[in-house]
Chains A and B, each alone.
Chain A
């Protein structure tokens, strides 16, 4: 007796991009195993695959699949594009770093692509289950990536720390989600909002507890103080290229679900989460910027700067308006360019057997490589937020959104902390341009590195001068979602 199971292939259509990426991840492993001599194919395949998926994502029409569990809307498309861009730029930088550090494992690219699958699913999550699934799928490959550099003691410590902290954050999230499910009887994000509204649950203390747990879990993921303590150690210990990746793409994906849950699931609680996030944002900017002041390691300084920038990005979320969400989205995109660019230069500084991650290694960079120094200058002025770079315009949009929503003191605080941040960014510029360093260093710009740097600097300057397109896209994406 045989039964034919009729497969409804039409239902699969919305997740074809994710399926393609999974296929590429598998293909990468196969290629690595059976064609070890063709290693140079791996980064190429990763880039080409991500580009193909990117085209598919950008061209996709709004749809809802699997009974509301998987949503394709403007919001999802925006974050998917953002994460894929992050993966592509990271891949372009990777070969250079792997050659210098001797990190030759072929699984590297496969893990990168698998975590991208997780991010794409997160961006499209319309249901708490899918959200959690995506989150774990993204996080697991990254735990492995952090520990990939087996010869370096710090990476093992970083991997363990990240794994434990990440597990802890997931547990908090799950607990929050289960409370939410218990209260509303559904895991569908849109339905949760409806149930809360219809049954007037906004004042329920259990709901407040759920909100608190969710915020704590997400704050772990995006490294917002006081849940940021893992960040400096993990960022410093991880291989630099993985750090660059972690500070951009997974953070953006985590912001995607953060925004999705707050804006589409718990809009009724905005009076609660707005002020909470305002306090957290201020604390994050304070901790990130002030601690970065006293770092001697450039990598660790960038880790704290990444914490501070998560604080700025929160400014848009806490505003609780469409404009605020659009501001956060735009800022994450801009942050991708400037932060990956800064990390690319950090990777360039390294030589075989000498990671060169301290501030002193930047000394006299302008004399050794005027181009590298000039690029770093652009990225750092963008991180400070000086026009005409994109960092300024992005920050301006955030400040304006938070200001319009009435968080005036938070904005004033943000402004003061970014003035403080100028000091430590400028210190690097000072070392590069105004100090003498060792002269005998040669810079190798590999083609991938050149492409990555050109892309980043064009992004920083181009979006700084013509941000209209990005703002319009983010604005319509935030509305459509």
Chain B
């Protein structure tokens, strides 16, 4: 590969963001347009990856390798496999949406906002593309700076509390990860190369220590119960674009960390710690769903539903079989799309009513029928209606969980029922009942908003009806990952389950 596609993905948005520095502060229309064009080009740049990607091999592709800090054997090395390619796509997509959603909602310090967003995009790309543990950590931490500012400067009334809490939670977790990385470096032959690190075996005791050090960072980011408390605050107070990025990409990074580091590098510890992880996942599913029922704030409800949905993701992950893992990765993409869409929709309605109180809404279906239609689709996808993408992911996860420990699937299924309850109840409270006085005469969605939401609907049905489009990228990489975890013999049959699912 002669063209450094992956480096371009990282540095193009960063340089693009810096180019906004030269635009006058009051030219907000130009600034917005530039940010949109940059994210669209970035999305286009992902396309060649998909077209040129070789689905038959689990090795890293499009590799780039440069020596960086020779004193510490740190390299600038990038690459993607079947797992990260989906996240790269998700990131590029979510960024376009979040630029669109901040079109009118961001009115102060517009320039700084878009610069922060674009730098954030570059850092997020770096997280998914790095194949050097140290490089990964650089991007992982660097992401905190723009996110801290996005929540803290453009957020809601309690933004400062929320952003400081977010920063401190993630920083503390990440620093323990850093200690883990150093420990791994010293015991793993003085290298940060992920492939090399995964190819060695470590004593169980060391693996367990490392597992918990990694857990500190990844579990906070996911967020797993009981370290999830930053998420509702950050989600609620962040500007619409921030919430979309948080739900769409940021919290996926925790699960990606488990996939990329904990599972392949620490297979024995992962198998050893299976039960606690599954229990935490099930608690997150049921607890998150029950808390949702008690929420009176729109965004907070969606935030807690993320806790519940990410519980599904970690459940599938730690089921450690093919169905569970593929379901889990697919569900992350799905959740990114669905929750992203929900936050987009909530952002649009919030711009009209300026309230997030569920109680002050009612009867929107008669004032904004098009919006009601979109929201219904997103709600059904979140609930996991067959035919939407939410169903495929959750179904695979439940199968995987059942194969591993049947009772986890039983509890997780309860979460599904609770999920249907709170989402449909939310829909009822927002869109039906009698029309509230303040809800009369709200303008219907404009063209820009419809154009923003329409691709989400397409994606929901496309993945829902033809999941193989994404799953086919995963198979080989997931099988390879499972071989690493189980040391050769893969449990369960490796037949393409998606064939049976797609109509």
Contact = CB atoms under 8 A, between A and B. Distances in A.
Interaction A to B: yes
Given A387-B138, A434-B160, A468-B71, A419 B179 contact: no
A471 B179 CA distance: 20
Interface stretch (B145-153, B413-421, B488-496): B145-153
Nearest to B185: A400
Chain A CB count within 10 A is highest, among B137, B144, B148, for B148
Contacts of B2: none
A423 B164 contact: yes
A392 B152 contact: no
B68 interface: yes
Contacts of A415: 175-176, 178-179
B137 A472 contact: no
Interface in B164-199: 164, 167-168, 171-172, 175-176, 178-179, 182-183, 185-186
A471 B182 contact: no
A467 B164 contact: no
B175 A397 contact: no
Chain A CB count within 10 A is highest, among B142, B153, B163, B176, for B142
Nearest to A388: B142
Nearest to A467: B69
A370 B108 CA distance: 14
A399 B178 contact: yes
Contacts of B24: none
B171 A419 contact: yes
Number of contact residues on B: which range applies?
Answer: 20 to 34
Interface in A393-423: 393, 396-397, 399-400, 403-404, 408, 411-412, 415-416, 418-419, 422-423
A335 B172 CA distance: 22
Contacts of B142: 386-388
Contacts of B168: 419, 422-423
A430 interface: yes
B475 interface: no
A370 B178 CA distance: 32
B3 interface: no
B446 interface: no
A312 interface: no
B113 to A, nearest CB: 12
A326 B138 CA distance: 21
Contact of B175 (A326, A419, A468): A419
A379 interface: no
Contacts of A400: 72, 182, 185-186
B179 A411 contact: yes
A402 to B, nearest CB: 9
Interface string B208-252: 000000000000000000000000000000000000000000000
**Cβ-closest 10 pairs across A and B:** A471-B71, A387-B138, A415-B175, A419-B172, A468-B69, A403-B182, A387-B141, A387-B142, A434-B152, A400-B182
Given A400-B182, A411-B182, A419-B175, 7 more contacts: A384-B171, A386-B141, A396-B178, A400-B185, A412-B176, A430-B163, A434-B159
A416 B68 CA distance: 28
B472 to A, nearest CB: 35
Given A400-B182, A403-B183, A423-B164, A434 B71 contact: no
Nearest to A412: B179
Chain A CB count within 10 A is highest, among B148, B171, B183, for B171
Contacts of B175: 415-416, 418-419
A358 B160 CA distance: 20
A426 B72 contact: no
Nearest to A464: B138
A381 B172 CA distance: 15
Contacts of B153: 433-434
Contacts of B145: 377, 381, 386
Given A386-B142, A468-B70, A433 B149 contact: yes
Contacts of B185: 400
Contacts of B163: 430
Contacts of B179: 399, 403, 411-412, 415
Number of contact residues on A: which range applies?
Answer: 35 or more
B183 A388 contact: no
Interface string A355-385: 0000000000000001000000100010010
B36 to A, nearest CB: 23
Interface in B123-143: 137-139, 141-142
A127 to B, nearest CB: 31
Chain A CB count within 10 A is highest, among B71, B137, B163, B171, for B71
B152 A430 contact: yes
A17 interface: no
Contacts of B112: 370
A225 to B, nearest CB: 21
18 contacts: A386-B141, A387-B142, A393-B69, A399-B178, A403-B179, A411-B182, A412-B176, A415-B175, A415-B178, A415-B179, A422-B167, A423-B168, A426-B148, A429-B148, A430-B164, A434-B159, A467-B69, A472-B70
A376 to B, nearest CB: 13
Contacts of B183: 403, 408
Contacts of A387: 137-139, 141-142
A475 interface: yes
Contacts of A418: 175
Contacts of B138: 387-388, 392
Given A387-B138, A403-B182, A426 B70 contact: no
Contacts of B149: 433
A468 B141 CA distance: 20
Contacts of A403: 179, 182-183, 186
A399 B182 contact: yes
Given A434-B159, A468-B70, A475-B71, A392 B141 contact: yes
A426 B164 contact: yes
A308 to B, nearest CB: 15
A178 B493 CA distance: 78
A151 to B, nearest CB: 38
Chain A CB count within 10 A is highest, among B153, B163, B164, B176, for B164
Interface in A417-471: 418-419, 422-423, 426, 429-430, 433-434, 467-468, 471
Nearest to A384: B171
A326 B69 CA distance: 14
Interface string A91-124: 0000000000000000000000000000000000
A475 B179 CA distance: 22
Contacts of B167: 422, 426
A381 B143 CA distance: 12
Interface in A57-106: none
A240 B145 CA distance: 28
B103 to A, nearest CB: 22
B72 A397 contact: yes
B379 to A, nearest CB: 34
A475 B149 CA distance: 37
Interface string A255-277: 00000000000000000000000
Interface in A307-334: 326
A293 to B, nearest CB: 12
Nearest to A402: B182
A403 B176 CA distance: 13
A471 B72 CA distance: 9
Nearest to A468: B69
B276 to A, nearest CB: 22
A338 B163 CA distance: 24
A434 to B, nearest CB: 5
Contacts of A411: 179, 182
A426 B149 CA distance: 10
Contacts of A392: 138, 141
